[in-house]
Amino acid sequence: MSSRTVLTLGVLALLSAACTTGPKSVQAPVTAAEVGEVRPGLVNGYLKRSELPDSLALLPPPPAEGSALLAADSEAYRALTALQKGPRGAQAAKDASLRPPAVTTHFACALGVSISEQQTPNLNMLLRRTLTDAGLSTYKAKDHYNRTRPFVAFNEQSCTPSEEASLRKDGSYPSGHSALGWAWALVLTELAPERTDALLQRGRSYIQSRGVCGVHWKSDIEAGRLMGAATVARLHDNELFRTQLAAAKDEIAKARTAGQVPAAAECAAEAAALATSVKLAP
């Protein structure tokens, strides 16, 4: 066999191996240790700070003193905080938690799939990192306007008394919880389009919980929703986000096949609590 033939066969073997194995697939990290944390419990997002949507540029100023918009804010505050002492108030307090592992379970009933680091690691991390990006997107406007929260303005208690000291120091406009809650709703509808109505309804009730708790004005919540949508639009230009989105979609399909669903009793209780405020703004 000539040296040219040996060389040709060697090249063909390498090409065949390359075609068989293909390029290595990129995998998104699924643990806090891999991703890193902004502070304990809050993982880094997908976006650099310079890549976040600019809330100060996108949002109008909060309602002025004596305006019709501020009157509407006050009316919504009274209507929503009236629900604090019932099941809706308990649900609002539960919705306030952004600590793992509970943080990624808020939409499990609407999705119809149990969410955890063990069973759905990519979905779990997708929600945690999106939370950070959406929440941080609100801070240019928050820090600029430094709006007083409604429970402070009315000198009343919120549904999360343990958080009141820190909330008093944090601007009210726009709502960070509303930004991340609406971002979750939008991302999850991409992953489970057949559950769109349930997921968007849960997104609305989740951000409405901030009004029930008395920690945000109606206009804060509406502005937060806009920032959540802007963040999701920006995230779609991030390759790692898209990679994790695809992996999460596969996990949801497998979880459904395996029957990994939230407890029926818990979902029934959640639905009953949320039904009491479904017609209230925002």
Active-site residue numbers?
177, 210, 216, 220
User: How many Å apart are CA 235 and CA 233, to the nearest integer?
Assistant: 6
Q: What are phi and psi of 38, to 5 degrees?
A: -70, -45
Q: Are strands 42-43 and 37-39 parallel, antiparallel or unpaired?
A: antiparallel
Instruction: Read off the tokens for 18.
Output: 């390359």
User: How many Å apart are CA 249 and CA 68, to the nearest integer?
Assistant: 44
User: How many Å apart are CA 236 and CA 242, to the nearest integer?
Assistant: 6
User: How many Å apart are CA 46 and CA 234, to the nearest integer?
Assistant: 10
Burial (CB count <10 Å: 0-12, 13-18, 19+), residue 261:
middle
User: How many Å apart are CA 237 and CA 126, to the nearest integer?
Assistant: 15
